[in-house]
Amino acid sequence: MSSPDRAAPVSVSAELSASTTLFGLEVYSLRPRDCYAEPYRIKVVEPIKMTTKEERVERIREAGYNVFNIRAEDVYIDLLTDSGTSAMSDAQWSAIMLGDEAYAGSKSFFKFRDAVTRVTGYKHVVPAHQGRGAEHILMMMMVKPGDRVLGNMHFDTTQGHILLRGAEPVNLLGAEGYVVESQELFKGNMDLEALERELAEHGRDKVPFVIMTVTCNSNGGQPVSMANIRAASAIARKHGVPFFFDCARFAENAYFIKTREPGYAQRSVLEIAQEMFACGDGCVMSSKKDALVNIGGFAA
């Protein structure tokens, strides 16, 4: 039975013909529910090896039962992460050959910066090799020993960078986010009362920023509602504390808002994302997720 607060199902059939541009690439962001085939061709395939049960048992024993010691070539279906695993389009591969490799002032950088700014609204963009590089930039600039960095639920690399700075990562995920069986639609939401308590107790002297991870990676990619984003941002700003996003999966989060949060069914994913970013002061991103590339990231 559907929740009475749930937004009406979105009909996306009409949206197939209208493409959207994301980080400079023309893509179809939604797949129509009545379509029998994906709106693209697969031009290149990579052979992979299927293993027997006996081989898999032997490989895991050889690895000392540590899955990170298993060779990737021995993994038939890799469910470790979606990071950097997306196939890229013919336009993306072609763009590599058109890249400007100038040491400074590259036109490729300005294209990248303008694309990020168009989506996020943030004017200052620093490219990074991937998300953890962007996190390193942010933490080195803003976090000092003894600080408390508040978030809905920090990703493991984010937590690691905070600890390396001698600070404490504080998770403020709402209670529903820990309940696997819960049917709550936005289980990545931050506990707003806990956020208010933390900021009232420690203030801007001890809290360099609040970071909202969208979607919330560490509890299964659960989405965060626009209402929660707006409220958390307002609380942070009331206390004079910057509000940042870890936005690796911002497009997915925007789509969840479109399909689950009342009032957004007729808004585009891009419009919802822009409204979300308007609540923040900056972001870090691993582009290997929702930018659908194999490498890259940025801080803005």
> In whole numbers, what is the pLDDT of the chain averaged over residues?
89
CA dihedral 127, 133, 26, 265 (to 10 degrees): -120
Cα–Cα distance between 158 and 233 in angstroms, integer? Answer: 19
Q: What percent of the chain has pLDDT over 70?
A: 88
Give per-residue pLDDT as tens, 260-296: 999 999 999 999 999 999 999 999 999 989 988 889 9
**Lookup: tokens for 43:** 């031009």
Residue 28 — very low, low, confident or very high, per pLDDT cuts 50/70/90? very low
Give residue 46's pLDDT. Answer: 86
Check residue 284 and report its DSSP letter.
E
Stretch among 11-15, 36-40, 211-215 having the lowest mean pLDDT = 11-15
pLDDT at 145 over 50: yes
Cα–Cα distance between 208 and 240 in angstroms, integer? Answer: 10
Give residue 208's pLDDT. Answer: 98
Give residue 299's pLDDT. Answer: 97
CB 208 within 8 A of CB 236: no
What mean pLDDT is predicted for residues 104-119?
Answer: 95
Q: Which residue has the higher pLDDT, 166 or 76?
A: 166
CB 167 within 8 A of CB 147: yes
> Which one of 3.40.640.10, 3.90.1570.30, 3.40.50.720, 3.40.47.10 gives the CATH number of domain 100-299?
3.40.640.10
**Lookup: tokens for 118:** 């168009």
**Lookup: tokens for 64:** 């000392």
Residue 40 — very low, low, confident or very high, per pLDDT cuts 50/70/90? confident
pLDDT at 169 over 70: yes
Q: Which residue has the higher pLDDT, 16 or 65?
A: 65
